[in-house]
């Protein structure tokens, strides 16, 4: 998610769950290939497994970008066919690609030929006046034929005219049943459902209803502990105790020190940690100490320890 799932966010989320697959922000193929912005691929080995999401619509350029991503160590290369922002539409990528399944298939085939890791596609159920019942099966058939074995479907349309990106995540209605019917139609295709999933209970129910995966965006960002601490046990049946937000905070301290030592600022990391204690006693103090203090010059890990103290005191 743009501006959200940067490397610091992913490092934190990986401390909370070993087995969930994490995704980068969308990185555009032109930025990597024409702009040479290879720093956009920087990440820590501890984040793995991580999928790199690419934006673009030029098959050769996407193939080259996918190659760079695979060389940088990403576990999966994902093509964005869901983002509705104007900036993205004018570059002819994102959700507007739902209108051109032939081009998407060419992109997937070129990326597939360029890398050994999985090439996957994140899409909507359609855009504007398209009939999802008609266009989605066609879209999926084309990408599958081009070598895509997994898709993540945001189960609502994007309305490219008249809605901003935020409205496009809320106003077009969710249609899980339609995506369910796609699973019945493409039983060999690994389908992850996305959109509006707010808890592990909901995630479990969707998996039990036949989806192969669930993708959680906003809830995982705003309440990372609620979504991730028990995910390894509940979703992946992994043995061992659940992770805790407190342990993750302590494990972030050396990471924060290294980030500051390399010239970074505290708030670049802590802004992703604000929701860690959401719904728990002390959450407000935690947020306040971090959001007021982390932007101050010279702020360091001791501020994070002080914020954690607010939570510990509230729990005592």
Ligand X SMILES: Cc1cc2nc3c(=O)[nH]c(=O)nc-3n(C[C@H](O)[C@H](O)[C@H](O)COP(=O)(O)O)c2cc1C
Residues contributing to the site for ligand X (CB under 6 A): 1-4, 25-26, 53, 80, 82-83, 122, 154, 169, 194-197, 216-219
- Name the pairing type of β-strands 190-194 and 150-154: parallel
SS3 265: coil
CA nearest to 155, candidates 217, 75, 235 = 217
Give the bridge partners for 152, in sequence order: 122, 192
User: For residues 111 and 120, what is the distance between their CA atoms, to the nearest angstrom?
Assistant: 10
* 207 CA to centre of own chain: 18
CB of 217 to ligand X, least distance (A): 3
Using H for helix, E for strand and C for coil, what is the string for 122-161? EECCCECCCCHHHHHHHHHHHHHHCCCCEEEEECCCECCC
Phi, psi angle pair for 41, to nearest 5°: -95, -5
Question: Are 172 and 154 spatial neighbours (Cβ–Cβ below 8 Å)?
Answer: no
Measured from the CB atom, is 61 or 310 closer to ligand X?
61
Measured from the CB atom, is 4 or 176 closer to ligand X?
4
CA nearest to 176, candidates 153, 201, 200, 198 = 153
Measured from the CB atom, is 20 or 80 closer to ligand X?
80
User: For residues 180 and 86, what is the distance between their CA atoms, to the nearest angstrom?
Assistant: 30
Q: What is the DSSP letter of 91?
A: T
Measured from the CB atom, is 3 or 131 closer to ligand X?
3
CB of 220 to ligand X, least distance (A): 7
CB of 230 to ligand X, least distance (A): 17
Query: The tokens of 312 are what?
Result: 């510990």
Measured from the CB atom, is 27 or 304 closer to ligand X?
27
Helix (H) or strand (E) holding 2: none
CB-closest chain residue to ligand X: 217
Question: Are 125 and 179 spatial neighbours (Cβ–Cβ below 8 Å)?
Answer: yes
CB of 95 to ligand X, least distance (A): 9
Measured from the CB atom, is 15 or 216 closer to ligand X?
216
Catalytic residues: 83
């Amino acid at each position: 998610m743009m501006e959200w799932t940067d490397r610091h966010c992913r490092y934190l989320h990986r401390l909370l769950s070993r087995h969930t697959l994490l995704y980068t922000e969308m990185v555009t193929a032109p930025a990597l290939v024409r702009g040479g912005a290879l720093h956009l691929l920087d990440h820590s080995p501890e984040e793995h497994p991580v999928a790199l999401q690419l934006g673009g619509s030029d098959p050769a350029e996407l193939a080259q970008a996918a190659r760079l991503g695979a060389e940088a160590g990403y576990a999966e290369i994902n093509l964005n066919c869901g983002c509705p922002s104007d900036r993205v539409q004018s570059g002819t990528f994102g959700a507007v690609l739902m209108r051109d399944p032939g081009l998407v298939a060419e992109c997937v085939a070129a990326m597939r030929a360029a890398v050994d890791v999985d090439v996957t596609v994140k899409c909507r159920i359609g855009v504007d006046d398209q009939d999802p019942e008609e266009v989605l099966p066609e879209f999926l058939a084309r990408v599958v034929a081009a070598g895509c074995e997994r898709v993540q479907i945001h189960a609502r349309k994007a309305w490219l005219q008249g809605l901003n990106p935020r409205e496009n995540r809320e106003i077009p209605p969710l249609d899980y049943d339609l995506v369910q019917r796609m699973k019945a139609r493409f039983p060999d295709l690994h389908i992850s459902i996305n959109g509006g999933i707010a808890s592990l209970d909901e995630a479990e129910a969707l998996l039990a209803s036949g989806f192969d995966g669930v993708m959680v965006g906003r809830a995982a960002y705003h309440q990372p502990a609620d979504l991730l601490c028990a995910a390894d046990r509940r979703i992946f049946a992994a043995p061992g105790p659940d992770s805790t937000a407190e342990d993750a905070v302590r494990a972030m301290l050396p990471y924060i020190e290294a980030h500051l030592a390399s010239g970074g600022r505290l708030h670049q990391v802590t802004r992703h940690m604000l929701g860690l204690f959401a719904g728990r006693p002390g959450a407000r103090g935690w947020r306040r100490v971090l959001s007021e203090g982390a932007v101050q010059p010279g702020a360091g890990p001791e501020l994070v320890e002080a914020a954690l103290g607010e939570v510990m005191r509230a729990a005592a």
